[in-house]
């Protein structure tokens, strides 16, 4: 009788962690469990006005345990006994300072409340100054260290965040034995690693965020780092020389975590990767299809055969790395620093009166106030979307720029800010919301155009993620603005499913991840086709959008 094989895919998102148990033969989701990060939900260790977004490692440790155990409770003991492997996807670049044992500093009592000792979430932009210095410094060297990250280094990434910490927190600087991405640390913890030297770093985050390349024999040379800032002198030795693709094992589940989860120590743990990269795999990415993971931000990814990318360098994207996304292919990444975050920001603005004034009323009791607030908050985006969908395209309507959290692609610049133009006394909430949705779609079009301008053909668009599944308004408007059909993937959990596909490959159930994708992928749910009349109308609006973008960027440069 053929042995049953099941795998676990883990997705660490911005606000929660999700675990799914998947039948490795069919891709059928047997169980799913989600755990919201409590400290993050309360806004602890964050300050949006300073672009500071930190997460306590305890949120991640507790979330890992609770999400996996929650999923395991939903399946039979027989399935539990046949779990073969676990793989993990996390946000990135989301690094943390660790001690010599690989333990994040915030897990020590003396650093428990220090945000600089916690994970720097991908969207943390406190290191904009450091990123700008890296970009200027790179111009001084014959080696073009930025050529594989589009020519611009971002404050969202590994080195900028490390330099910020070393400069701004002496206690963390003295205790920091290494700097580790979340997607590398979680597998290290699950396999019971006891020394930072045992951490296996993945090629996705190393190449796209830390300037690792075979061309440079690894990370940037000591001369580059020490001359950038003496605080970086010798730090390269605390990091790594080799990297791994995510179809390889990090090790086996250690006895401690096997006991916590009720699983066998024979369960393999895969090398981790960034959530969007595994999400592209879960969404069944194909060569030259743009895979858009549409969530709080967007990550726009493509893959191409290595031989087709020989000598090709794409300006202004977030990186092109051999072996990232799909091993054996060149993975290309772009994206927007804020996408769903913009919609949530506007929802919270609209919700403010209910949040502030309802608790003051004496007309209803506190329990009713709370329930009413929850109902209002949960319905705002739905109602705004319905109203916005009824508003016709108007050449002179409200116009927004989607740089509310800076610009990621093309040409990263986290100093830039968003804007709304053409406001008047008739500008109501649905009209402003519509302009914000439109701006995020225009931002996506700029990314598509950059790939095409650089000679990378786009055969089609695949949409995955929460926004893609929940907002027909956004997806249809994007199809109309791009003038291209968009396929929406059927899975609700593409990042976790992609991790499960990698887990199945790590376990040897499939010889490579492309085979796992074919066997385990559920296909596509719906296709949104463009209205070409609307496309023509949006072309006029898009030109105005680009002019407004140029005005903002030019005035920023003049003010610097």
413 domain-assigned: yes
Number of folded domains that form the chain: 2
Tokens of 477: 């408007």
Q: Is there a single domain that holds both residue 497 and residue 541?
A: no
Residues 404 and 430 placed together within one structural domain of the fold: yes
Please indicate, yes or no, whether residues 503 and 359 belong to a single structural domain of this protein. no
What is the C-alpha R_g of the chain? 23
Residues 445 and 520 in one domain: no
Locus of tokens 């794409």: 314
- Same domain? For 486 and 497 the reply is no
Domain presence at residue 453: yes
Please tell me the predicted confidence (pLDDT) of residue 556. Answer: 73
The ranges of the chain with pLDDT < 70 are: 1-2, 557-560
- For every residue of 325-381, DSSP letters joined together read SSTTEEEEEEEES-SHHHHHHHHHHHHHHHHHHGGG-SSS-HHHHHHHHHHHHHHHH
Q: Decide if 278 is inside a domain.
A: yes
Planar angle of CA 79, 82, 88, nearest 5 degrees: 95
The answer to whether residues 374 and 519 belong to one domain is: no
Q: Which of 462, 491, 109, 452 is nearest to 292 (CA)?
A: 462
Residue 250 lies in a domain: yes
**Cα angle 16, 22, 23; round to 5:** 180
Whether 63 is covered by a domain: the verdict is yes
Cα dihedral 140, 144, 145, 147, rounded to 10, equals 140
Structural domain contains residue 332:
no
Same domain, 446 and 506: no
Domain shared by 450 and 362, yes or no: yes
Tell me the CB-side half-sphere exposure of residue 156, using CA atoms within 13 A.
26
273-274 vs 83-90, strand pairing mode: parallel
CATH of the domain at 433: 3.30.420.40
Cα separations (Å) of 246 from 48, 184, 232? 33, 10, 29
Q: Does residue 327 form part of some domain? A: no
Is 292 a member of any domain? no
Question: 425 and 510 in one domain?
Answer: no
User: What values do phi and psi take at 69, rounded to 5?
Assistant: -65, -40
Same domain, residue pair 502 and 470: no
Please tell me whether residues 368 and 515 are part of one structural domain. no
Q: What percent of the chain has pLDDT over 90?
A: 97
**Cα–Cα distance measured from residue 530 to residue 391, given in angstroms and rounded to the nearest whole number:** 17
Domain of residue 121 covers 6-283+492-524
The verdict on 10 and 141 lying in the same domain is yes
């Amino acid at each position: 009788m053929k042995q049953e094989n099941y795998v676990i895919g883990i997705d660490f998102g911005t606000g929660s962690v999700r675990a799914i148990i998947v039948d490795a033969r069919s891709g059928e989701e047997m169980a799913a469990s989600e755990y919201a990060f409590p400290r993050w939900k309360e806004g602890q260790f964050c300050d949006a006005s300073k672009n500071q977004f930190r997460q306590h490692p305890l949120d991640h440790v507790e979330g890992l345990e609770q999400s996996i155990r929650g999923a395991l409770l939903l399946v039979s003991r027989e399935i539990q006994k046949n779990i073969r492997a676990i793989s993990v996807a996390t946000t990135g670049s989301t690094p943390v300072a660790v001690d010599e044992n690989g333990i994040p500093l915030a897990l020590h009592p003396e650093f428990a409340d220090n945000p600089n000792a916690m994970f720097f979430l991908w969207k943390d932009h406190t290191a904009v100054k450091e990123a700008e210095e890296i970009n200027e410094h790179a111009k001084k060297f014959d080696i073009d260290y930025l050529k594989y990250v589009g020519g611009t280094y971002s404050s969202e990434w590994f080195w900028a965040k490390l330099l910020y910490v070393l400069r701004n927190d002496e206690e963390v600087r003295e205790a920091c034995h290494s700097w580790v991405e979340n997607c590398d640390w979680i597998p290290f913890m699950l396999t019971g690693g006891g020394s930072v030297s045992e951490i296996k770093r993945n090629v996705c985050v190393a190449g796209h965020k830390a300037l690792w390349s075979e061309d440079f024999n690894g990370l940037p040379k000591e001369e580059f780092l020490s001359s950038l800032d003496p605080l970086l002198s010798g730090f390269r030795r605390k990091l790594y020389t080799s990297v791994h693709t995510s179809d390889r094992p990090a090790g086996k589940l250690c006895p401690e975590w096997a006991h916590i989860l009720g699983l066998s120590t024979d369960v393999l743990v895969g090398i981790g990767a960034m959530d969007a990269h595994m999400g592209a795999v879960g969404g069944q990415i194909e060569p030259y299809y743009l895979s858009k993971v549409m969530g709080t931000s967007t990550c726009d990814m493509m893959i191409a055969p290595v031989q087709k990318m020989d000598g090709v360098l794409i300006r202004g994207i977030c990186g092109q790395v051999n072996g990232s996304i799909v091993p054996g292919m060149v993975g290309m990444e772009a994206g927007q620093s804020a996408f769903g975050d913009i919609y949530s920001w506007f929802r919270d603005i609209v919700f403010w009166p209910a949040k502030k004034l309802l608790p003051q009323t004496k007309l209803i009791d506190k329990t009713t106030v709370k329930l009413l607030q929850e109902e209002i908050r949960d319905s705002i985006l739905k109602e705004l979307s319905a109203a916005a969908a009824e508003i016709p395209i108007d050449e002179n309507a409200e116009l927004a720029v989607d740089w509310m959290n800076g610009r990621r692609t093309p040409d990263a610049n986290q100093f830039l800010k968003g804007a709304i133009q053409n406001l008047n006394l008739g500008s109501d909430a649905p009209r402003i919301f519509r302009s914000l949705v439109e701006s995020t779609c225009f931002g996506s079009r700029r990314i598509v155009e950059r790939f095409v301008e650089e000679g990378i053909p786009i055969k089609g668009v695949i949409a995955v993620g929460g926004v893609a599944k929940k907002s027909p308004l956004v997806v249809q408007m994007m199809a109309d603005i791009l003038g291209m059909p968009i396929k929406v993937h059927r899975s609700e959990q593409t990042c976790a499913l992609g991790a499960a596909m990698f887990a199945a490959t790590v376990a040897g159930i499939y010889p490579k991840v492309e085979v796992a994708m074919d066997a385990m992928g559920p296909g596509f749910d719906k296709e949104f086709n463009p209205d070409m009349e609307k496309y023509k109308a949006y072309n006029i609006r898009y030109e105005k959008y680009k002019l407004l973008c140029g005005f903002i960027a030019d005035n920023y440069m003049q003010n610097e």
